[in-house]
Every structure is written in structure tokens, then in C-alpha cells.
Amino acid sequence: MSTLRFQALKETLDRKEIAVNEPARRSDIFGKNVFDKASMRQHLNKDAYKSVQDAINNGSKIDRSVADHVSTGMKEWAIQNGATHYTHWFQPLTGATAEKHDAFFELEMDGTVLEKFGGGQLVQQEPDASSFPNGGIRNTFEARGYTAWDPTSPAFIMGTTLCIPTVFVAYTGEALDYKTPLLRSLQAIDSAATDVCKYFDKNVTKTVATLGWEQEYFLIDSALADSRPDLQLAGRTLLGHSSAKGQQLDDHYFGAIPTRVLNFMRDMETECMLLGIPVKTRHNEVAPNQFELAPIFEEANLAVDHNSLLMDVMRKVAARHFFKVLFHEKPFAGVNGSGKHNNWSLATNTGVNLLSPGSTPMKNLQFLTFFVNTIKAVHDHEELIRATIASASNDHRLGANEAPPAIISVFIGSQLTNVLDELEKVTDGKLSPEEKTDLKLNVVGKIPEVILDNTDRNRTSPFAFTGNKFELRAVGSTANCANPMTVLNAIVAQQLIEFKAEVDALIKDKKLKKDEAIFNVLREYIKQSKKIRFEGDGYGEAWEKEAKKRGLSNNKTTPDALKAKVSKKSIKLFEDLNIMSKIESEARYEIEVEEYAMRIQIEGRILGDVARNHVIPTAVKYQNRLIENVVGLKEIYGKDFKKMAKEQMILIEEISEHIEKINKGITEMTDARKKANNAKDAEETAALYCDEVKPYFDEIRYHCDKLELLVDDEMWPLTKYRELLFTR
Ligand code: ADP
Ligand code: MG
């Protein structure tokens, strides 16, 4: 009997419920482990408090002497709340979070012992940059990097460690993390959007991007997950025959949450509350053992940090409940994969959501301005958006049944389509008083009702307008949201800058009134960006054809998609807005291309090992048993044995054929890997891994899965899909 698999199953079935300590009211503990406004007021003097608030709200610098005071207050608060250590907490380009703990504890020369945490330690630290991905920046410049405090995201306590969110940059200033470009993009969108807001409301002085992510994930018993080398090392199954029952009956979606899972969720959400992560919604997703979690939206930088933190918290709490969380975009073939929808909007300091229509025609014109400019930005940079969601793991999901295709398009619903159609007819130049009134009453004025009625929710669109925000649905479940957020902020910022210049020119040169100028520019944008709008079924083949006709990109693989990150247009976009220099853009491209190749390489090795060391030996063992049986029948029945042994003999041959194909596949795949490893540069290596190595995965898997169906269940060493997806 295959021991590990059956031991794991027994362990899973014997699980006892883990008790959860949940507060009666979440508001009682919300943000308890966060150095938030309330704790700051308690632990900082007036000047220090004001200084930190200024940094948060206006991006002003914090004076070094003030930093000393802040660090002392922060330390006192942290120690009171059980912290013994502190760390700079950052998001290097590995996709994981990084931390290195130091104790507050200090020993002075004279032997005195004290708890110390100075302003210097709060503001800056120097982790060794050479051990993190840097895309060649380290070779060209300095090996050293440093982390610097980001006061806009509050410090928090995780376990017994005070975590201080920081950026991570090279000594020469290049960003080595996700946060730095994100913060720069937030500055860009703030300045561009605030300028445009002034057309409508002079009181607007600040605009922030808002993000509400939705995190999908699978939850598998840890014993079962650990029993499979592929799940353990690659986070997805590289083989495994589909379960007879999968998601066909749609009986999991929004169903009753299983008790063990619910306990995990309650426990995890309690941790989230302590950390100030405003989680709100939880439910079963479409695939068996798949779930979703969504928070209340927040300012984008904070929301990005909270999503990264959440993923850490989920892993930790899951372990307590003997679960493993799978964040991979496609852990199981044949059932739905996981995404991370990014709901994005813009909000002003006056409390207005710029993608939500208002109560007056002027406010609706403001809504239309931001709405149309966003569509235009997506139109102009669709390939960059595709690039920003590209990864080896998301490739399995995009274009598969349940996920948006690799083609970027915008869905706005039929009602808003009608509004844009009307606006396309606006007169060129000055508008007559009648036309203005008509626009106000019948087009712009009707928008709030239109949106309320707009229940049409196209789930197949990668970028959909959903009433008061845009939802980028193509983001993968493992992704750091900073990447797509940086791009969205950047392209919309650039678009708004252009818009403002065009409107101002019409006002100045053509002597148009402000609203006339705005209508004129919007009309042109609507015309120019028409091809990005698509209201139909994004999953269908017809759309692929249509999109091609329209000239939209359809970059199906990561190596193809990533190229847009280093196109002249993208490099210029980031340079113009001071978000990333050319060197930074190129470094990121190189890191991602390399990561792609490494992921496929690792998967290829795992598949080779599992197929040769687990599958083939098991198949041979079973085949031997069949041979024994045939030999026995021959002994008893003499030459008549053939009639009785017929099926067994067919099986013996079939097994041999599958074994041969698997072996051949692995040998050829290994050769292809060698070729890819010796390619001239990282880009070519990635392309070869994609085009020459990866295709063997399906071929090898096919024969392994056939053997799974043939071989005695008791002998099969790998935990099966049925067991992974339905045991809890
Ligand atoms: P869905 O139907 O896709 O589940 P919901 O209406 O439940 O959508 O909202 C999904 C997410 O959108 C939530 O995480 C919510 O916080 C977020 N969201 C709502 N309004 C905004 C906004 N103005 N900006 C950013 N995110 C938002
Ligand atoms: Mg959604």
C-alpha cells in the first residue's frame, strides 16, 4: 500500500476542530495592533504627531529629531503590546514580503541593559541588496541597498515583532521593490487628477487612488498537500487525473462554508481585525475547496500593504488549522483558477469618488471626464496592462474557461455605451444654448439613473466598469497588487495631463467655454478609444477574431506579454512621470523574464522526478502483478490461458506504452531545458522555456494520468484530485 498518501488521508479524516477565540464585536479589536492615529496621540507629543500626520497627508519630510521622538513613542507602544523585536517590513521583487528581526534589547559598554529603538533605526536600515532580485542594477551600481520608512502605511505588530513598512532602494536610488514605484505613481495621479478636479471644484487639493482587492484561494488539508511534491514545491499539481465530480453541479459556489474552513476564516479574520485589515466578505468560490475574501476598499498604498500582509497572515493561520493555502492561479487542471480582482477608483480630499456620478450636471461631467479618460488610457496602453498581469502561473488561467482572455478590453454596460454614443455627436467647437441644455438634461443629467439601472454585469471582461469603480479582473491571485496599481495610476495620470493641456488650449486659443472645451475633448477621446470597448462574451472564440480585426493585442504567453514593459512608449511613460527610470524599467523586465524561466525550469524538474520516481515505478510494480497473474493462469490452464488473461495482457501492453511515452517525453524535455539554459540571454531563455520546454508538460502529464486510471488505487502514491478537492 502506498503509505504516505493513505497516512495523509487518515490524518485528514481524524482532524479535530480547532477552537477559535473570536471577539463578539469586531470593532472592539479593530486596529489594536496598529500604531494608528489613536495610539499616536497617546504616545507622541503634539509636534511629533503633527509631523507624522503631515507626512501621511501631504508627503512632507519628517525631521530627524522628530523621528527620534516618534521611534521612542512607537517603541513604548509596541512593548506595551507585547513586542520584543522590530523589523523593517518591505516587498522586494521576489513577490514575498521580507523582514529581519532585531531585538529592542541593547547592552551598553558598561554592562547596562536597556530597550532601545532610535530614530535612525526607524528611518533607515541596510539589508544586503545583493541577495534580492535586482535585475543587474547591483552590477552596474552599488551592491548596497537600504530600506526607508514609509510613514503613509502605519507600523503594526505581528506576533511579537513591531513591523515598519518601508521602501527598498539601491544606494544609488533605484527602486528594488514594488512599493517605491507605486508611491511615485500615487504622487503622479494625485497631481494630475487634482489639477483636472479644479475645473469642477476649487476646493479639491488632493486625490488618492483607492483599491479594493478580492482574494481567491484554495484551502487544502496540510497533510494532503504535503503528500505531493508538486504542490509542495510548485504550488500546483503538475499531474493528476480529474475527479469524476468536479464543479459541474455548481454546488460549491456560495454554498454553506464547511465548519473546519469557517473556523480558519474566523481565526484569520480576527487576526486581520487586530492588524487593521478591514476584511468584510467571505464565501465559497466556484471550484471545490476554493474560497474568496474581500475587504472594504482603502487608499491604494495601504490596500497593497494589507493584501501582502493578508497573504502572510493566511499562511500562518492556515497552518494552525492544518490547512495549506494555495494562492496559485491554477492549482488544479479542469476546475476554476484563482484571481485577484483589483477594484480601482479615485477619491478626493472633499470626499468625492470621481468614478461615481453626482447630483448635478457639473458633477456628472466630472464623472464623465474621469470615466472617459480612464478608457482612453487603457486603450492607449492595453499592452502594458497585459504585461503587468503576466506571470508563469497566471498564463494557465488567462484565456481558460473561467478567466478573462489575454486580450484587454473595457466593459461599460449598454446604458453608458448609449451615453458615450450621444457624446460622440457633440458639435465641433462652440455649442448652441439648445445643445448645451439638451446635453445637461438628457445626457449628462440622466447618468445617475442610468447607473442605478445598470445591473448588467459582464463577468467575462478583464476591465469592467461596475457602477462606481473599474474592476481589473485579469490580475492573478499570487500577484502583488502594486504592479497593476502602479500601471493604472501612471497611464491615467499621463492621460489626465494630456487632457488638461488640450482643454486649456481650446479655452485659450479657440475661446471656448470650459464645459464646451471639455465636451470637445471627450468627444475625440470617445472616438479614438472605441476599439477597446467590448460588451460581448470575452471568453468566446468570436471575440479573439474580432479583437484581431480591431488591432488589439493578444499576447498569450508571459515572454510575449512582458515585452511591452520595455517598449519605447512604456519607458517614456514611466520616465515622464518620474515613476521609473529606463534602468529601473529594464531591470524589472529582466527580473520577470528570469523568474519566468526559473519557474518553468523548476516545474520541469519536478514533473520529471515525479513521473520517473513515483509514477513509472508504481506502474511497473502493478504491471508485475499483472504478469504474475498471467503466468499463474498459464500454469493452471495451459494453452487455454489466453482467453482468461486477455484483458490483463492488454493492460500490460498499455502500461508499457505509457511508460515509454513518459520516458521519451522526459528525455526530450531535459534536452530542451539544456538548450534553453544555454541561450544567449535571459529573454531567449524564457522564450525557449515557453515554446520548447513547456509543451512537454501536457504530453508527459497525459500519459501519467492515464496510468493513474489503470493502476490499482491502493498502489497509487500520489494523493488524487478527488481526495485533494473533496476531503476536509
Ligand atoms: P463584486 O460583485 O465583484 O464581488 P463588490 O461590489 O462586492 O463587487 O465589491 C468588490 C470590491 O470593490 C470590494 O473589495 C470593495 O471594497 C471594492 N470597492 C467598492 N468601492 C470601491 C471604490 N470606490 N474604490 C475601490 N474599490 C472599491
Ligand atoms: Mg469582483
Residue 595, CA atoms < 13 Å, CB-side half-sphere: 19
DSSP 3-state of 70:
helix
Domain boundary among 557, 580, 603: 580
The model carries a pTM of: 0.95
Q: Are residues 561 and 629 in the same domain?
A: no
Ligand nearest to the CA of 466: 1
In a domain, 12, yes or no: no
- State the distance from the centre of ligand 1 to the C-alpha of 41, rounded, in angstroms: 31
Residue carrying C-alpha cell 488650449: 505
| 175 — pLDDT class (breaks 50, 70, 90) | very high
Residues 570 and 648 in one domain: no
Considering every ligand atom shown, identify the ligand nearest to the alpha carbon of residue 294 and give its number.
Answer: 1
Question: pLDDT higher for 32 or 138?
Answer: 32
Which pLDDT does position 502 carry in this prediction? 98
Q: Which atom of ligand 1 is nearest to the CA of 295?
A: 14
Give me the amino acid identity at 280.
K
* CA of 194 relative to ligand 2 center, distance in Å: 27
Assigned domain for 552 exists: yes
**CATH code for the domain in which residue 44 is found:** 3.10.20.70
Q: What are the tens digits of pLDDT across the range 21-36?
A: 888 898 899 999 999 9
295 lines ligand 1 (CB under 6 A): yes
Residues 261, 210, single domain; the answer is: yes
Integer Cα distance of 293 and 272 in angstroms = 11
Check: CB of residue 132 under 8 Å from CB of residue 176. yes
CB distance 467 to ligand 1 below 6 Å: no
pLDDT of residue 403 exceeding 80:
no
Using the mean position of ligand 1's atoms as its centre, give its distance from the Cα of residue 297 in Å. 7
- State whether 286 and 429 are in the same domain: yes
Closest CA to 523 of 441, 456, 452, 435: 435
Measured at the alpha carbon of residue 93, what is the angle toward residues 91 and 97, in degrees to the nearest 5? Answer: 30
Answer whether residue 392 is part of any domain: yes
Counted domains in the chain:
3
Range with the poorest average pLDDT among 452-456, 530-534, 563-567: 452-456
Structural domain including 148 reads: 31-177
Q: Within 14-45, where are the H helices? A: 37-43
Residues around the ion ligand 2 (C-beta < 5 A): 214, 341
Are residues 670 and 636 part of one domain? yes
Check if 278 has its Cβ closer than 6 Å to any atom of ligand 1: no
Residues 416, 534, single domain; the answer is yes
C-alpha grid cell for residue 476?
492573478
* Pocket lining: 468 vs ligand 1, CB cutoff 6 Å: yes
pLDDT single digits (tens) 610-625: 999 999 999 999 999 9
Whether 5 is covered by a domain: the verdict is no
Which residue reads 479644479 in cell numbers?
198
Are 116 and 107 within 8 A, CB to CB?
no
Helical spans, DSSP H, in 541-615: 541-550, 558-562, 568-576, 582-609
Assess if residue 14 is contained within a domain.
no
The reply to whether 251 and 309 lie within a common domain is: yes
Q: Residue 366 CA to chain centroid, in angstroms? A: 30
Domain's final residue, options 533, 555, 580: 580
Write down the pLDDT at residue 452. Answer: 62
Whether residue 190 has its Cβ less than 6 Å from ligand 1: no
Q: Are 43 and 74 in contact (CB under 8 A)?
A: yes
User: Would you say the CB of residue 296 lies under 6 angstroms from ligand 1?
Assistant: yes
Whether 285 is in the pocket of ligand 1, judged by its Cβ within 6 Å, is no
- Give backbone dihedrals phi and psi of 714, rounded to 5 degrees, phi first: -65, -25
Task: Assess if residue 536 is contained within a domain.
Answer: yes
Fill in the amino acid letter for 624. N
Q: Give the mutation target among 186, 297, 370 for probing the ligand 1 site: most ligand atoms within 8 A of CB.
A: 297
Q: Report the C-alpha gap between 2 and 4 in whole angstroms.
A: 6
Q: Quick one: 169 and 194 in the same domain?
A: no
Angle between helices 568-576 and 482-509 (to 10 degrees): 80
Domain final position from 130, 156, 177 = 177
Q: In terms of pLDDT, which residue wins out, 359 or 53?
A: 53
Indicate whether 320 and 361 sit together in one domain. yes
> DSSP alpha helices (H): ranges in 211-258?
222-226, 229-234
Q: Confirm whether the ipTM is greater than 0.90.
A: yes
User: Does the CB atom of residue 297 touch ligand 1 within 6 A?
Assistant: yes
Same domain, residue pair 192 and 171:
no
One domain for residues 509 and 604:
no
Calculate how far, in angstroms, residue 177's C-alpha sits from the geometric centre of ligand 1: 26
pLDDT band, residue 63 (cuts 50/70/90): confident
Same domain, 703 and 643: yes
